[in-house]
């Protein structure tokens, strides 16, 4: 498998022709927001318990997910030469170094080069809470922001984390003279899509950027960042749920398990039953109470989806047998369900596994739903055999 460095080099050969390089010189930050050039400096680590929140802090306590590496702050406007300055500043630092990014953006190619450099060094990236009063920050009013080309640089982190009050934002690419034609725009989109693939980020983030009105920023919320793998260090604790047996409408019995999602109080339920002697799977999505019947929730259920299962490292695709439906009367009004076909050999594999993952293939995941959910098989054998 080619490295990120090799992949990015190939993309540049294929796509970054002379005219593309020229047209991207000014793509990035919003034109009205002036910034100094991005610079890099070391920030001491400290014990969070010893930080006085009533005055500016001169040290940072990174979350445990980012490890114990040194902390470096990158702030200011990203330019084509930014990666050169970065490489010089961190040339002797080990893998696991944490790069705190604080920028409204700048040059798009500069952001891609910076992200590639971060990944090649196996560094991590972090966006601070906007309320963090770090003494080293030059621009306090834009603290905790990583927008535009900074967002692409952020994706270079092996581990990536946005604090609760941090802001990660994207927008349409453009150039100063607005002379991009449809062909040029398509080629730039291809470049960005390949970059996201290389960094392990879902292309739906690019779709969101392209849907943003010119001159505006779309701030990607916590749920979307988790679903699209923008963040890799988001805690996704698995709350094990024992399988149960329940009588359903029409005399059917269901063996089922429910797992609460990590971002909100929403639930994903996976159930199995027999219909006309054939095993069938039922997926039920229940919203957090605050999202009940909201457009951000309901819009995800307009189309059928495939369901990807991962059991003991093996990937299995379940095909839908129905559209999304309003769930039974015992559920809330916003709860939706969909039926899938499932082969007997898959249920046999479930009997032999300790756990499995479900990855619904939503075009845009419902708000509050994780990109993947881990289900334990505790109690599955007894309840499935009772169907």
Domain ranges of the chain: 4-227, 244-385
What is the mean predicted confidence (pLDDT) over 309-338? Answer: 92
> Cα separation of 380 and 367, whole Å?
29
* pLDDT tens for each residue of 28-52: 444 445 578 999 999 999 876 566 6
The confidence score (pLDDT) of residue 356 equals: 95
CA pair distance 35, 336, nearest whole angstrom: 47
CATH among 1.25.40, 3.90.226, 2.40.50, 2.60.120 for 4-227: 3.90.226
297 vs 186 pLDDT, higher one: 297
pTM exceeding 0.85: no
- C-alpha closest to that of 224 among 240, 206, 238: 206
C-alpha to C-alpha distance for 7 and 114, rounded to whole angstroms: 15
**What is the reported pLDDT for 15?**
38
Q: What is the CATH number of domain 244-385?
A: 2.60.40.1880
Question: Per mean pLDDT, which range of 83-92, 154-163, 363-372 is the poorest?
Answer: 363-372
pLDDT > 70: what percent of the chain?
A: 83
Task: Say if residue 182's pLDDT is above 90.
Answer: no
Can you tell me the mean pLDDT for 210-229? 87
| pLDDT recorded at residue 331 | 82
The pLDDT-based confidence of 288 (bands split at 50, 70, 90) is confident
Radius of gyration (C-alpha) of the chain in whole angstroms: 23
Mean residue pLDDT of the chain comes to 84
Tens digit of each residue's pLDDT (9 = 90 or more) over 72-81: 999 999 999 9
pLDDT band at 204 (very low <50, low <70, confident <90, very high): confident
First to last CA, the chain: 45
Structure confidence at residue 56 (pLDDT):
83
Location of structure tokens 């919320």: 221
Please tell me what DSSP assigns to residue 300. G
Two domains, one topology: 4-227 and 244-385: no
pLDDT band at residue 221, thresholds of 50, 70 and 90? very high
CA-wise closest residue to 372 among 261, 250, 257: 261
* Dihedrals phi, psi of 298, to nearest 5 degrees: -70, -30
Long-range contact set of residues 304-307: C-beta below 8 Å, sequence gap at least 24:
304/338, 305/338, 305/360, 305/361, 305/362, 305/363, 306/361, 307/281, 307/283, 307/340, 307/358, 307/359, 307/360, 307/361
18-24 mean pLDDT: 35
Give the pLDDT score at 48: 64
pLDDT in tens, 79-109: 999 999 999 999 999 999 999 999 999 999 9
């Amino acid at each position: 498998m080619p490295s990120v460095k090799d992949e990015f080099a190939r993309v540049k050969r294929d796509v970054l022709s002379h005219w593309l390089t020229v047209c991207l010189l000014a793509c990035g930050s919003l034109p009205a927001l002036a910034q100094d050039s991005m610079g890099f400096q070391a920030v001491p680590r400290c014990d969070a318990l010893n930080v006085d929140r009533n005055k500016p802090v001169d040290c940072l306590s990174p979350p445990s997910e980012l490890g114990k590496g040194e902390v470096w702050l990158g702030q200011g406007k990203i330019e084509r030469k930014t990666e050169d300055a970065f490489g010089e500043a961190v040339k002797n630092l080990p893998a696991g170094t944490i790069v705190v990014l604080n920028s409204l953006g700048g040059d798009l190619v500069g952001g891609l080069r910076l992200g590639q450099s971060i990944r090649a060094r196996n560094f991590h990236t972090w966006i601070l809470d906007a309320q963090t009063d770090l003494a080293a920050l030059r621009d306090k009013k834009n603290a905790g922001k990583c927008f535009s080309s900074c967002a692409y640089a952020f994706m270079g982190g092996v581990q990536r984390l946005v604090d609760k009050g941090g802001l990660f934002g994207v927008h349409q690419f453009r150039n100063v003279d607005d002379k991009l034609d449809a062909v040029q725009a398509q080629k730039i989109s291809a470049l960005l899509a390949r970059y996201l693939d290389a960094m392990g980020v879902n292309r739906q983030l690019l779709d969101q950027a392209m849907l943003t009105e010119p001159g505006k920023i779309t701030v990607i919320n916590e749920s979307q960042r988790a679903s699209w793998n923008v963040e890799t260090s988001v805690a996704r604790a698995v709350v094990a749920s024992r399988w149960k047996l329940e009588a359903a409408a029409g005399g059917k019995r269901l063996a089922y398990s429910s797992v609460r999602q990590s971002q909100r109080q929403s639930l994903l339920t996976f159930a199995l039953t027999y219909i006309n002697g054939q095993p069938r799977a039922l997926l039920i999505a229940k919203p957090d109470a605050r999202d009940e019947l909201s457009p951000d929730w309901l819009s995800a259920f307009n189309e059928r989806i495939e369901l990807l299962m991962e059991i003991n490292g093996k990937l299995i695709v379940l095909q839908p047998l129905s559209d999304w439906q309003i769930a039974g009367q015992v559920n809330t009004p916003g709860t939706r369900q969909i039926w899938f076909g499932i082969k007997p050999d898959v249920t046999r594999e479930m009997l032999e596994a300790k756990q499995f993952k479900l990855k619904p293939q939503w075009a845009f995941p419902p708000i509050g739903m994780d990109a993947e959910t881990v289900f334990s098989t505790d109690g599955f054998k007894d309840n499935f055999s009772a169907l």
